[in-house]
Amino acid sequence: MVSDSPTFPCIVPAGDSAALIRFGSVLDFDVNAAVLEFDNYLANAFINSALASGVVEVTPALVSLLVRFDPLRVEYPEIESRLQQVLNLKDWLQKPVVHDPAHWQIPVHYGGEAGTDLTEVSGMLGVSEATAIEQHSGSLLRALTLGFAPGCCYLGMLPEAWEIPRLKVIKPEVPAGAILVAVRQTVMASAAMPTGWRCIGRTPLNNFDAQNIPPVIVKHGDTVQYQPVSECEFEKLQTLAGKGESIAKRVA
């Protein structure tokens, strides 16, 4: 159980019915890409394959991937051996490639009431609000993972200066569409939620629709670039979003 600094990737049992594959211990853009490439490989390998027998669910996270199985149908050693075989196919941490990402342009209204922490964040960065907006919207971000709430997206990596700590006191609620920042990442909130991150803007995009398959628009590995829009434009787009029109523009 107590491990000396393990070599990655490694497989460990989780509970009595899951295996956790760790590709690293700290968030790193390439380690995340390895998780996404491995996830994509499993998804394809599991189609009509005995490899998938007994597997209930595969969930990628920032630098790890959880494989849940039914322990009454398949035992842990068998699952571990199957996953190890896939890990042995190549060096997953060497130049990982995220396959078939979609590229999205997504409107954001920065600052003001939509982004009450923009002033503080630009102060922490030591730049003007306009420059902070330029840096945030000028970054080509990857959807590193989804979590916390349905459709809630974690994107990265922002420039190194954006290594902003989380808040000490949790904000009870930010609205759906809130654009949050901390630790070189941006969270795109898909519903009203509490957060320990700073809010710098808001998008009219709702990244979750329970009636769609898949239920999200921006998915793992997709790339996103934000487009600053005025408050007036935001409101117009939000009305359109309410009518079911697509807000995220797919450019590739």
Could you list the residues that contact another protein (CB under 8 A)?
Answer: 1-3, 12-18, 20, 25-27, 56-66, 68, 71-72, 75-76, 145-152, 183, 190-191, 208, 210-211, 214-216, 219-220
For 78-91, the DSSP string reads HHHHHHHHHHTTS-
C-alpha span between 205 and 178 (Å, rounded): 10
Q: How far is the CB of 122 from another protein (least distance, A)?
A: 24
Handedness of CA 224, 229, 234, 238 (dihedral sign): negative
Q: How far is the CB of 99 from another protein (least distance, A)?
A: 16
Nearest Cα residue to 184 out of 8, 26, 36? 26
- Three-state SS for 11? strand
Q: How far is the CB of 141 from another protein (least distance, A)?
A: 17
Q: Which is nearer to another protein, 25 or 81 (CB)?
A: 25
Q: How far is the CB of 151 from another protein (least distance, A)?
A: 6
HSE-CB of 132 using CA atoms within 13 angstroms: 24
For 56-105, the DSSP string reads EEEEE-SSEEEEEE-TTTS-HHHHHHHHHHHHTTS-TTSS----S--EEE
Q: Which is nearer to another protein, 185 or 238 (CB)?
A: 185
C-alpha span between 252 and 247 (Å, rounded): 15
Q: Which is nearer to another protein, 3 or 88 (CB)?
A: 3
**Which residues are paired to 64 by β-bridges?**
22
Q: How far is the CB of 25 from another protein (least distance, A)?
A: 7
Q: Which is nearer to another protein, 5 or 113 (CB)?
A: 5
Q: How far is the CB of 152 from another protein (least distance, A)?
A: 5
C-alpha span between 92 and 71 (Å, rounded): 27
Q: Which is nearer to another protein, 51 or 127 (CB)?
A: 51
Q: Which is nearer to another protein, 35 or 229 (CB)?
A: 35
Q: Which is nearer to another protein, 61 or 155 (CB)?
A: 61
- Here the tokens at position 168 are 């000490």
C-beta of residue 39 within 8 angstroms of C-beta of residue 117: no
Q: How far is the CB of 183 from another protein (least distance, A)?
A: 7
